[in-house]
Structure 1
Amino acid sequence: MPETLFASDQPPGGAESWTRREILQQPSTLRATQALLRASRAAIEGFLAPLLAKHDLRVMLCGAGTSAFIGECLAPWLSATTGRCVEAVATTDIVAAPQLYLDPARPTLMVSFGRSGSSPESVAAVDLADARLPSVHHLVITCNAAGALARRNAANSHVVVLPEETHDRAFAMTSSFSAMMLAALSILGGIDTIDARVEAIADAVSATIAGAEPRAATLAAREFDRVVYLGSGVFQGLAREAALKLLELTDGAIPTAFDSPLGFRHGPKTIVTPRTLIMVFVSNDPLTRLYDLDMLDELHADGRCGAVVAIAAQDVPGEALLVPGAGGQADIDLLFPYIVPAQLFALQCSLRLGRTPDRPNASGTVNRVVQGVRIHPAAA
């Protein structure tokens, strides 16, 4: 059985699931996260300043599952805007083959994401980095003050514990995902810079929730038997996270896939059937958007899939869920409202299938905090 981490498994209000509550609370948790970073700015910047002075610093964004996908969303943007080497490397990859991912020749900042902060791979990846890298520092971003990563008290580490409400009680990560992603974007991209944008981001999430919840229920009622998520640039990582949310909350009953629109043509498009739903995260970048629109046009012309739905901030042809007032926002800010329709759709599919969203895996073979991982000694 999944472990019990909280005094009560029932959210306030009784019948409402933690999953839905945590999806809907994201505007407030995003604001609370940025307020915490603002208050902690001096300590955070004091830790980072000497590291960022190193021109050859390697920044690794690390986590497992959803926490790894935070890095996949942020790494391309942070690399381009900061001019630094920023890479997304899953802790599951580091632990399995550390010799391929840990470079002792480079000073390294390992940024570790963890809702619980106690996943075996997360702890082992930090230990491996300390053992193998002559110059390594750790920035831990976690939602759990009692987790193993949060309790690290090492001279080469700085821990940022996000507000308690971001420590999702449900099985699937929702508000923890968006809060940790905002925290990393703010810390590495500039706390002042995000201060100026956090209200617009949170407002866009609120507006998206209002429009997406009824639409998600309507889409779930159409009983698609497979779902594909497509996104370019930062949205490819988001497509992977969206695909995982649906798998998790339906206990694998609805197979999913993810890709970029350009990559989808190279074989993965064979997944499409008349009962397939395809969701496309449409970029605001003028060039990237053209490729996204080409894919929408092609899918409509094919007439083969059950439905094509664009998640967009500007008008697009066909069926779409628009984020109000976000037509001028950068793609990196759109990550936060764009994930909401996918989260709500996964929740509605879970309910339609008779699952319990907070604990969809009735067999207990998949748990909120991963279990059954043996960490094997790695050769020096």
Structure 2
Amino acid sequence: MSDLLNAVSTAVPAVALLTRGVSMEEQAERGYGHTLREICRQPEAWRAIGTRFTERPSGAGASPDGWVLTGSGSSHFIGVALAPTLQASLGVNVRAAASGALLLTPEAYVTAGSAATIVSFGRSGQSPECIGVIDLMLERHPLCRHIFVTCNPEGRLARGYQQDDRVSSFVLGREVDDKSLVMTSSFTGMWLAGRLLGWSSDASGFTRQSSTLADIGRAVLLSRLEELARVAREPYDQAVYLGSGPRFGAALEAELKMLEMCGGRVRTRAETYLGLRHGPMAGIGGRTLIVAFISSDERRRAYELDLLTELQRKRLGLAFVVCGAALPDHAADECVLNVEYGECAGVGDDDLVAIDVLVGQTLGFFRCLHERLKPDSPSETDVISRVVPPFPIHPI
């Protein structure tokens, strides 16, 4: 058991029930051991990534034809979370495109003769549409450069294209290659590696930022896990996740974690704050959990808090989980749980994605247990699997 998981087991009664006197082998047999360890290993994994990866790969310069960030499912949401950040730092157009969309309509993202940089994210490096997109792009758009970010050192992203000088890779390794069906440390590990792609030449700054994130993540796990476990057991049948800018990517991932780990028993939706007013608010009722990732940017925050005030005035939502740094005081409202990230000096919305996702993973994990499902393999009838099985890739 890791030092942090040991500390969490001591400090958090909800975790102690799962670990005290229960071997790691038995935890795995009960169907939660892998996911619990993988959630709790994230802060130290971030610190290690910040120390190990100190240079951007070749091809990570500002391509005049822009960047496309691609992946499937959670890996796509990494791109959604990173695109605003990388566009601001690189000064070129950066778009996030699901691998499936890029495979079916490549002309919508990459034009003939383009020399764009295409960044592919994939935990296993084996998913059929991910490999299909790469093969398609290498053949039809030979001027494009590629950067692969993957966890599995044995997958095709890690090993299948090593001889092609258009390809560079980040292989994070087994330390974040989650065994659970749901991605937890794999998501935040690949996101953090992607964050480096837009970093300045000062690698020490990336190392410091990774370490700061690790400290924040550790503090959240130790101080807020018990309350999150309690909220996860509330009688809601729907969960709505709200985020702005890069943290909308976190909302998408947090929403997917609840959906996957509860086998669809909890209906889920991710939305922007202002987008919620344009129809989706009609679906929020008295049995809806609302998880709000609050921006540090003052202008965005003002819009977000206005929306939360409106929801409360209309008496929409069973409970609110409000997450961010230097949050307004909701202590008097028993329906609101503030998950305070602390002062977060030097850490803004571009980086708090990792902490938001950590909160979403925790809510999904404890709700899964409440539903008497197994977080390591929550799909009782194998509707979904850890790696999408092969399917035909049709030629253009």
TM-score where L is the length of structure 2: 0.87
1:308 CA displacement: 1.8
Gaps of 5+ in 2: 1-21, 331-335
Superposed, 1:59-208 pairs within 5 Å as 59-151=67-159, 152-153=161-162, 154-190=164-200, 191-208=203-220
113-122 or 321-330, which deviates more: 321-330
1:61-84 deviation digits (Å, cap 9, x = unpaired): 110000000010010121122211
1:99 CA displacement: 2.5
1:157-188 deviation digits (Å, cap 9, x = unpaired): 11211031100000100101001011011132
297-306 or 271-280, which deviates more: 297-306
**Residue 52 of structure 2: aligned partner:** 36
1:13 CA displacement: 4.9
> Residues 250 and 354 of structure 2 are in contact (CA less than 8 Å); yes or no, is this contact kept in structure 1?
no
**Residue 43 of structure 2: aligned partner:** 27
**Residue 345 of structure 1: aligned partner:** 363
> Residues 36 and 162 of structure 1 are in contact (CA less than 8 Å); yes or no, is this contact kept in structure 2?
no
Superposed, 1:346-365 pairs within 5 Å as 346-365=364-383
1:322 CA displacement: 0.8
Superposed, 1:308-347 pairs within 5 Å as 308-318=320-330, 319=336, 320-326=338-344, 329-347=347-365
> Residues 50 and 208 of structure 2 are in contact (CA less than 8 Å); yes or no, is this contact kept in structure 1?
no
**Residue 3 of structure 1: aligned partner:** none
CA distance in 2, matches of 1:299, 1:316: 16
The aligned amino acid for 2:187 is: F
**Residue 391 of structure 2: aligned partner:** 373
> Residues 254 and 360 of structure 2 are in contact (CA less than 8 Å); yes or no, is this contact kept in structure 1?
yes
- Which of 281, 285, 297 pairs up with 1:269? 281
> Residues 50 and 211 of structure 2 are in contact (CA less than 8 Å); yes or no, is this contact kept in structure 1?
no
1:285 aligns with 2:266: no
CA RMSD in angstroms comes to 1.7
The aligned amino acid for 2:294 is: V
1:372 CA displacement: 4.9
The aligned amino acid for 2:114 is: R
> Residues 182 and 260 of structure 2 are in contact (CA less than 8 Å); yes or no, is this contact kept in structure 1?
yes
The aligned amino acid for 2:59 is: L
Superposed, 1:208-223 pairs within 5 Å as 208-223=220-235
TM-score where L is the length of structure 1: 0.91
> Residues 29 and 163 of structure 1 are in contact (CA less than 8 Å); yes or no, is this contact kept in structure 2?
no
The aligned amino acid for 1:345 is: L
The aligned amino acid for 2:370 is: R
269-278 or 317-326, which deviates more: 317-326
1:178-235 deviation digits (Å, cap 9, x = unpaired): 0101101113223443123121111011111112311121112212100000011111
> Residues 102 and 132 of structure 1 are in contact (CA less than 8 Å); yes or no, is this contact kept in structure 2?
no
The aligned amino acid for 1:22 is: E
102-111 or 325-334, which deviates more: 325-334
Q: How many residues matched?
A: 361
The aligned amino acid for 2:188 is: S
- Please give the secondary structure, in 1, of the residue aligned with 2:350: helix
1:107-143 deviation digits (Å, cap 9, x = unpaired): 1111111100000011011011112213111111100
Gaps of 5+ in 1: 1-9
1:317-351 deviation digits (Å, cap 9, x = unpaired): 43211112326621112111121111101000100
- Which of 260, 266, 276 pairs up with 1:254? 266
CA distance in 2, matches of 1:364, 1:280: 31
192-201 or 352-361, which deviates more: 192-201
**Residue 227 of structure 1: aligned partner:** 239
> Residues 58 and 106 of structure 1 are in contact (CA less than 8 Å); yes or no, is this contact kept in structure 2?
no
- Please give the secondary structure, in 2, of the residue aligned with 1:194: helix
> Residues 11 and 18 of structure 1 are in contact (CA less than 8 Å); yes or no, is this contact kept in structure 2?
no
The aligned amino acid for 1:20 is: L
The aligned amino acid for 1:177 is: F
- Please give the secondary structure, in 2, of the residue aligned with 1:289: helix
CA distance in 2, matches of 1:293, 1:373: 45
